[in-house]
Amino acid sequence: MNIFKFNTRKNYISLFSILIIFLSLSTVLILNFVSTLEIFASDSGNKQDIVSGVVPHHLLAKDIIEDFFSYISSQGKPETIVILSPDHFHSGTLNDDNAFITLDWKSGSGKKEFENIKIDSLLGKKLADDNKIALNSSAIVYDHGITNLIPYIKKYFPESKFLPILIPIDITKEQIEHLVKTINKETPAQTIIIASVDFSHYLPPHAADFHDKKSIRVLLNFEENNFDNIEVDCWQALYAARLFAKLRQKEGPCIIAHNNSVDFSKLYSETSTSYFSVAFGEKKSKENISGSTVKVFNEGVKTVLLVGDVMLDRGVEYLVKQNSIYYPFQNISHFLRGIDIVFGNLEGPVVENPPEFPDDSLKFAFNPEVIKGASWSHFNLFSLSNNHTPDMGKEGLEETKNWLRKYGIAFVGNPLSGNSDNLNSSFLRDNITFLAFNQIFPFMIKEKEMIKTIKMVKSSNPDNFLIVSMHWGEEYKLINSPVQQSLAHKIIEAGGDLIIGHHPHVVQNIEKYQGRLIFYSLGNFIFDQYFSPETQEGLAVGLEIYPDRLACRLFPLQINLSQPVLMERDKASEFLIQLANRSDNRLEDEIKSGIIKIERWW
């Protein structure tokens, strides 16, 4: 019989060892639990809902800046604030490489603080390891895109670390993406990127507001491929802030404000600046500080600018040779920026080594170099349906199309076609369709075929907004002819949503028919007809096409030696009064105000 014998000494030692291990594990678990509670308590007391935002840097808009930082502060205290600003004074040109610019943390007081704010030099070093970054404290010190925000950071976030970065104008989208992804990887949750950006510059308030429609839409909807054509002082900073919000999965916008410098100065200016401020966080705010809803800004508005005849030969060519290929566009190019579609009537063919026509000739041919100037000024669509694009024959027309393609400009219309082949020359983008027809000898399309084409195009895309460009009418007449009006009504009845006319070389009256607008002639845009005031004036029409309505902004133009420019307010007001007096009397007040609004019918 086996009897179990208890060895007292050995078993006491074993039990003691087990007890020590148990106590050790318990201590570790307790310490971990306490640490977790501390972290939780810290996070809950410093929850940072906002991850990025946009704020102006002009101190005229100090109320917006104050509201922005106050709102951010109410949502939590960031550990690190990264400020992205345009390189206003082109300090980047001093660098060999196209690089970002930040403080030099390697020397002097920049190691630890800047204006008594702690510098996140560790983040700066990590960014420099993986991105092209130049260290230049002087550039930071003198750039108001950074320094104007410093007092607000001190006031609201005295304990936060700070890293300022200047963005030179030539920084690419790929560089921005790499920088932001590095920040996303190397920083804690309590990090915020702030884009110090002012919106539309150097334009009157109504033009700035027109530009802001696209800029704000692109920002809020994160239209990645459209950031480089919005009218702001640093699209790269906006792209960075918006991309960071996406990477952090906090894309809900709270709109702080949308204003113009005129709102603060109370003095009208032809060269105003617009301001838009927004913060991106966990959820879309139902009550924005500005009182405007997010829907107002990102509901899908598309912008189109329509201008008149563009002739680049004869006297215009002479001025181009005396100056540069950009000469005709240089005083208007800023106005043409930041718009989805910029459309004009190209009044002639584009061919290499164009012939020298006699001074009294009515034939035109344009040097391809000047089309490079048109592309530079943001034209992206031309009508070819007129009586001059065939001036160099069929071969010249095909060459014209090739040059336009080379410079990234689309085209619409076939001036040599007298039948429904125009169907193949329509232009479609963003639920907007363009058709263009010529009604001037010798290549006039038959009315029956034109109406048939319009009906076919409309029926194939019934929800698209259909713009019909017509080359028609009598030269130098301020009122449309009965023939124009009859045809215009048929075009509307066939499905046209808006008609714009060219060829008379003066601005003709505006009519409203079945709820649609007819601009019988937009006049000249670039031409050498210096013999009368009317031929040196034009009208640009800015369309804001919403899902449920249409807004048409009227921009009177003065043409000085073939250079169009926006008319100053007093002269523009008188121009619109005269235009209203010869237009549909139902539109009188709206024309005088410079904007016509119509509810959706299409």
Q: Average pLDDT, stretch 310-336? A: 97
User: Which of 500, 411, 487, 502 lies closest to 451, judged by CA?
Assistant: 487
- Cα–Cα distances in Å, from 509 out to 412, 578, 581? 24, 10, 9
Q: Cβ(377)–Cβ(336) under 8 Å?
A: yes
Distance CA(594)–CA(113), nearest Å, equals 52
327 in the same domain as 351: yes
Domain check: are 351 and 498 in the same one? yes
Percentage of the chain exceeding pLDDT 70: 88
With cut-offs at 50, 70 and 90, classify the pLDDT of residue 602. low
User: Percentage of residues in the chain with pLDDT exceeding 90?
Assistant: 80
pLDDT at 105: 80
Decide if pLDDT at 109 tops 60: no
**Range with lowest mean pLDDT among 1-10, 48-57, 312-321, 579-588:** 1-10
Assigned domain for 16 exists: no
Tell me, yes or no, whether 409 and 424 share the same domain: yes
pLDDT above 70 (res 449)? yes
Query: Which of 13-27, 63-77, 581-595 is least confident?
Result: 13-27
Eight-class DSSP state of 408? T
Of the pLDDT bands very low, low, confident and very high (cuts 50, 70, 90), residue 44 is: very low
Q: What is the pLDDT of residue 284?
A: 66
Supply the pLDDT for residue 97: 79
DSSP reduced 3-state for 451:
helix
Domain that holds residue 89: 52-298
What's the mean pLDDT when you consider all of the chain? 90
Supply the pTM of this predicted model. 0.90
| Distance separating alpha carbons of residues 309 and 470, to the nearest angstrom | 12
Q: Is there a single domain that holds both residue 313 and residue 287?
A: no
Domain shared by 281 and 356, yes or no? no
Shared domain for 213 and 347, answered yes or no, is: no
Radius of gyration of the chain (CA): 31
Tell me, yes or no, whether 6 lies in a domain.
Answer: no
Q: Which of 243, 268, 298 delimits the end of a domain?
A: 298
CB-based contacts of 480, cutoff 8 Å, min separation 6: 473, 488, 501, 508, 509, 511, 520, 521
- Determine the pLDDT at residue 428: 95
User: Both 261 and 398 in a single domain?
Assistant: no
Report pLDDT digits (tens) over 458-484.
999 999 999 999 999 999 999 999 999
pLDDT at 78 over 60: yes
If asked whether residues 285 and 307 sit together in one domain, one would say: no
Q: Would the pLDDT of 324 be above 90?
A: yes
pLDDT tens, position by position, 551-595: 999 999 999 999 999 999 999 999 999 999 999 999 999 999 999
Give residue 418's pLDDT. 53
Residue 9 confidence (pLDDT) above 60: no
Q: Which of 217, 383, 397 is nearest to 310 (CA)?
A: 383
Q: 160 CB contacts (<8 Å, ≥6 apart)?
A: 77, 78, 79, 80, 81, 117, 118, 153
pLDDT reading at 95 higher than 90: no
Task: Give the pLDDT mean for 256-276.
Answer: 96
Residues 284 and 151 in one domain: yes
pLDDT confidence bin for 107, thresholds 50/70/90: confident
Query: What pLDDT is attached to residue 34?
Result: 37
Residue 475 lies in a domain: yes
How many domains are contained in the chain?
2
